[in-house]
Structure 1
Amino acid sequence: MLDFSMTIGGRQVAGRDVFAVHNPASGAVVGHAPNATLADLDAAVAAARAAFPGWAALPDDQRAAACAALAGKLGEHAEEIARLITLEQGKPLGALGSRFEMGGAQAWAGHTASLSLPMAVIQDDSAGRIELHHKPIGVVGSITPWNWPVMIAIWHILPALRAGNCVVIKPSPYTPLSTLRTVAILNTLLPPGVLNVVTSDDRLANIGAAMATHEGIGKIVFTGSCATGTRVMQGAAPTMKRLTLELGGNDAGIVLPDCDPAAIAEGLFWGAFINNGQTCAAMKRLYVHDSLHDAVCDALVAYARTVPMGDGIVEGMALGPINNRMQFDKVARLVADAARDGTVLLGGAPDDGLFFPVTLVADLPADAPLIVEEQFGPALPIIRYHDVEEAVAAANDSDNGLGGSVWSRDADRARDIALRLDCGSVWVNRHGAIQPNAPFGGVKRSGFGREFGEQGLAEMTELQTVFC
């Protein structure tokens, strides 16, 4: 049984109560996490506020070195944390699973540590000198989801720390253990209070909502659903908190008629089904030209049959279960509806427990729920189109705008079409391939603000103009 404490002010805090964390592959209890109260949150915020002046005053090169050391520490404990991720999240250890996630966490941490936001001079002449300075905000509140629990935590934590802020993080109640352990490990290198973690299943207190309204928190970084993001934004309004919201996506991929179906099948599959489709920027809708539609369907079915699904702790698995019952039931509902109106090419019938087979569905009407709603699971609608203008219009006909992709042998033509898609990121001949040096975020209801790179680091600061 794995039981961890919260880290508040550099100390391990057990909490008044605990809640169970389950392995989605077996249903077994993995461990228990502390169930925080509002007093625990207040203590974490107070610790962060107390640590802030000293952390913010560090010379920039010292803070960069400290953040680089955090990246190294993640590498030292990568296998330990990866196993925790698999046990509580369900993704496999290998393939594009927990070890991949930890590699990404270390890469993002290392790159973020190397970034800086030096003072810029925008005028220096006889009329005067004007400087632009990036200053830390104070305490950053981080609320993270269950799909990539440690990598997204690092996306939030490292730029906040690198910019001179202190952090209070609340992970999802489905996957708190890996974050609790990660924060405890990182605290061995940080001054007390710089990085704090509280966990809750909301039975004692709604900690996420309290973070949004807390007067001691200057910014919230939230990754999760559009509905919860809306509530975070509403809660933050009275205190005028700064916000970065990376919300849901309903990403479209467009396959042009010059493609080779066999050549793109693997890329299409993993663009849609990485992490079992439980990824905000995974492909959720696939538009294929009429001349290739059947061949692309056949190639995807053939490739999907080669991908093993099972308990992620067993080496050799490539896909695991859906993480939780609520998400499983949503996918099952959408697939059942699609089976009535379309053609199920593969999958469709749920397996035991939370395992849901890779499901491919064709011949759906444009208003089918599996097309209109974000499924966030292993089910992909494949939609036939006749003209590229039709495909672009359909791809843009969504309240979301996180990512998109265009597939073609003609890279220039694909880029021209990509520029017409209403989304924050767009890829040519791949999907979802994010990088730590490339800004990432959504438009429309997929949120606002950017993460990664210098732009993401700047989001963790206030800009001050100095007239000399």
Structure 2
Amino acid sequence: MTVKTYKYSNWTNNMINGWREGSSEKICSVTNPYNEEILTEFKFASKDDINEAYQAAEKAQKSWTNVSALEKVSILEKASDIMKDKKEELIELLIVETGSSYLKASIEVDCAIQDIKLAATFPSMNRGSIRPSSIPGKENRVYHDPVGVVGAITPWNWPLHLTMRVVAPAIATGNGIVVKPDLHTPITGGLIIAKIFEEAGLPTGVLNVTVADLEEIGDSFVEHPIPSVISFTGSTAAGKHVGSLAVKNVKKPALELGGNNAFIVLDDANLDEAVSAATFGKFMHSGQICIAINRIIIDRKLYEPFVEKFMDQAENVKVGDPRDHDTIIGPMINRKQVDRALGIINKSVEQGAKLLKKGNVEGNLMEPFILGDVTNEMEIAQNEVFAPAACIIPVDSEEEAIQAANDTPFGLSGAVFSGSLERGIEVAKQVRTGMIHVNDQTINVEHNVPFGGEKSSGLGRYCGEWAFEEFTTEKWISVQKKAREFPFS
């Protein structure tokens, strides 16, 4: 293959038991969503490449699982150090490949470093136990073993962090892994991670990255017989398909899917604090975050002053070139996402929502839109908009706010603002969601607490000890220490 010279032409190979060209005839073209500049082009991985990657992971895992805990920790810690040294390079990659603002990219790199640091504690964790038996002379032992090989399908919006939160714990618990990053973000969603671990000394084959076109490979990545766990982060529709295939093939699905996150403002809330939180939680990374605010549900007593202050705040959110450190809203990932968001907005206005602020749209850049007098049945309240478009739903009571928050098939994140912490906590307990935050906004990630959703927002949990559980399996070994007497023999 003759490779054209692009700014990032060093990224032209997949990691399949070592760096090599994909064997597909189709070409992956990676573009900057802000200016449409082509960053690099290379051949996709084929079905045969995916098969080879899984075989390599399976073979390497048998040796990797027996590597000492001390050596595993050393490799993980070295990977963390490499990421620290490469922080500005990683930020630059996230800016040009994903359209991230400098602020968002900085946060994402720090999150990925924390993912590795936490995973570095796993090899020395003793999660096994010895339990009594009702049979004389018997001892019961419960061990946590690696699942074997993990298949990971990762998204484009926070590719470095959302891939690393799977890769690091999977490796740390003794597994092999094959990653299929999103086609928009193959570098930050996989290839740079493989390079970092290679530099850290991870044996070849343990981590493989296959950049593949779904139209070519179909369901082969999920249905392959080798992986025992399929991790998927992405839309609910795609996740349901992946999950059903995994279960059909007796694989464990770990799914983090879409959200329709409610930001509840009760009648006793501190208005300025709520507006500040809502502005961040809605417009960070152009709203392209699964845990971003989707619905602002506010007591009618505070509706008008909230709207006025929120509109003022939105005017001050800078939209533009993500290389500018003052930019908050950079480009949407592609024009398709822009048009989808505009369609949701237009439909909601037709349904009776008031368009309080109409942002300008130029290419993939979309300024903030704000819709008021929204009801929970409208298009923008029913769907994850994934754009800098806010909808504000007035309600007449705490009970109505809770009912509106729960009136969705999703349950990923949420937030409640109240002047009384205990009142906020009690409301939070009644919202059916995997995560919810009192007197804060919905975008929160910490590495020692469970991250995941309820209902159509997913299965399983990432982060902390919960990630350890996702990528290990329990094995019971009983030990008969003295001869057992049987009723017959």
Structure 2 vs 1, CA of residues 117 and 330 (structure 1 numbering), >3 Å: closer, same or farther? farther
- Take 2:215 and 2:469, find their aligned partners in 1: how far apart are those partners? 36
**2 CA distance for matches of 1:181 and 1:451?**
21
Equivalence for 1:275:
285
Give the deviation of 1:127 after TM superposition. Answer: 5.5
The aligned amino acid for 1:195 is L
Matching residue of 1:336? 346
TM-score (norm 1): 0.95
> Secondary structure of the equivalent of 1:140?
strand
Q: Where in structure 2 are the equivalents of 1:253-272 lying within 5 Å?
A: 253-272=263-282
- State the match for 1:216 in structure 2: 226
Comparing 271-280 with 57-66, greater Cα deviation is found at 57-66
1:246 match:
256
Alpha-carbon separation, structure 1, partners of 2:470 and 2:337: 31
Name the structure 1 match of 2:386.
376
Counterpart contact for 2:283–2:328, Cα < 8 Å: no
| Secondary structure of the structure 2 residue equivalent to 1:463 | strand
Superposed CA offset, 1:131-151 (max 9, x none): 221100111011001100111
Which structure 2 residues correspond to residues 265-304 of structure 1 after superposition, within 5 A?
Answer: 265-304=275-314
Q: In the comparison of the two structures, how many residue pairs are matched?
A: 463
Structure 2 counterpart of 1:186, from 164, 174, 197: 197
Whole-Å Cα distance in 2 between the matches of residues 306 and 420 of structure 1?
34
Contact 2:284 2:328 in 1 (8 A): no
User: Offset at 1:60?
Assistant: 2.4
1:70 counterpart = 2:105: no
2:124 corresponds to 1:113: no
Shift in Å at residue 66 of structure 1? Answer: 1.9
Unpaired segments ≥5 residues, structure 1: none
Q: Distance in 1 between matches of 2:56 and 2:21?
A: 13
Amino acid at match of 1:446: S
Q: 1:51 aligns with which of 53, 60, 64?
A: 60
Q: Give 2:473's match in structure 1, choosing from 446, 462, 466.
A: 462
Q: Conserved in 1, the CA contact under 8 Å of 2:299 and 2:397?
A: yes
Residues 101-137 of structure 1: CA deviation (Å, up to 9, x unaligned): 1111111211221232432223379663222211001
Secondary structure of the corresponding residue to residue 436 of structure 2:
strand
Shift of the 102–403 alpha-carbon distance from structure 1 to 2, 3 Å rule, reads same
Q: Does 1:202 align with 2:202?
A: no
Equivalence for 1:104: 111
Aligned to 1:345: 356
Quick check: 2:416–2:428 contact (8 Å CA) kept in 1? yes
Aligned residues of 1:81 and 1:182 also touching (Cα < 8 A)? no
- 1:355-434, aligned counterparts within 5 Å? 355-430=365-440, 431-434=442-445
Deviations 1:209-232 (A, max 9, x none): 211100011111000001111111
Q: Which residue of 2 aligns with 1:23?
A: 32
Whether 1:444 and 2:452 are equivalent positions in the alignment is no
Tell me how far apart the structure 2 counterparts of residues 202 and 466 of structure 1 sit (CA, whole Å): 41
Alpha-carbon shift at residue 408 of structure 1 (Å): 1.0
- How far does the alpha carbon of each residue in 1:270-296 deviate from its partner, in whole angstroms, 9 at most, with x for none? 122221111111111111111111111
Q: CA deviation at 1:82?
A: 1.7
SS for the counterpart of 2:394 is strand
CA-CA distance at 1:452 after TM superposition: 0.4
Q: Report the CA distance between 1:456 and its aligned residue.
A: 1.5
Question: Amino acid of the residue matched to residue 38 of structure 2?
Answer: V
Q: Counterpart of 1:234 in 2: which secondary structure?
A: helix
Displacement after TM superposition at 1:39 (Å):
0.8
Secondary structure in 2 matching 1:425: coil
**Per-residue CA distance 1:295-328 (angstroms, 9 max, x = gap):** 1111111111111111212332111011122221
**What's the offset of the Cα at 1:426?**
0.9
Counterpart of 1:90 in structure 2 is: 99
- Does the Cα contact within 8 Å between 2:76 and 2:116 map onto a contact in 1? yes
Q: Which residue of 1 aligns with 2:487?
A: none
> How far apart in 2 are the matches of 1:234 and 1:175?
25
**Percent of aligned pairs sharing the same letter:** 29
AA matched with 1:82: I
Q: Distance in 2 between matches of 1:204 and 1:246?
A: 24
Listed one character per residue, the Cα deviations across residues 179-198 of structure 1 (whole Å, up to 9, x for unaligned) are 31221232222101011101
Distance 2:360 2:52 in 1: 44
> SS state of the match for residue 63, structure 1?
helix
Moved over 6 A (4+): none
3-state DSSP of counterpart to 1:67: helix
Are residue 10 (structure 1) and residue 18 (structure 2) matched? Answer: yes
The answer for the alignment partner of 2:69 in structure 1 is 60
Provide the alpha-carbon RMSD of the alignment.
Answer: 1.6
Range with bigger deviation, 216-225 or 115-124:
115-124
Distance 1:205 1:124 in 2: 49
1:360-399 CA distance string (max 9 Å, x none): 1111233110001111111111110111101101110110
Q: 2: distance between equivalents of 1:87 and 1:354? A: 13
Per the TM alignment, residue 349 of structure 1 is displaced from its structure 2 partner at its CA by 4.4
- Opposite residue 9 of structure 1, the aligned amino acid is N
Task: State the Cα distance separating 1:410 from its structure 2 match.
Answer: 0.8
User: What is the letter of the counterpart of residue 320 of structure 1?
Assistant: G
Which whole-Å CA distance do the structure 2 matches of 1:100 and 1:263 have between them?
22
Match of 1:141 in 2: 151
- Residue aligning to 1:160: 170
TM-score (norm 2): 0.91
2:177 counterpart SS class: strand
Measured in 2, the distance between the counterparts of 1:82 and 1:177 equals: 12
Question: Is the contact between residue 329 and residue 367 of structure 2 (CA under 8 Å) also seen in structure 1?
Answer: no
| Equivalent position of 1:81 in the other structure | 90
SS at match of 2:93: helix
Of 11-20 and 363-372, deviating more is: 11-20
Contact 1:117 1:458 in 2 (8 A): no
Name the aligned partner's letter for residue 146 of structure 1.
Answer: W
Could you tell me how far apart the structure 2 residues matched to 1:62 and 1:216 are? Answer: 26
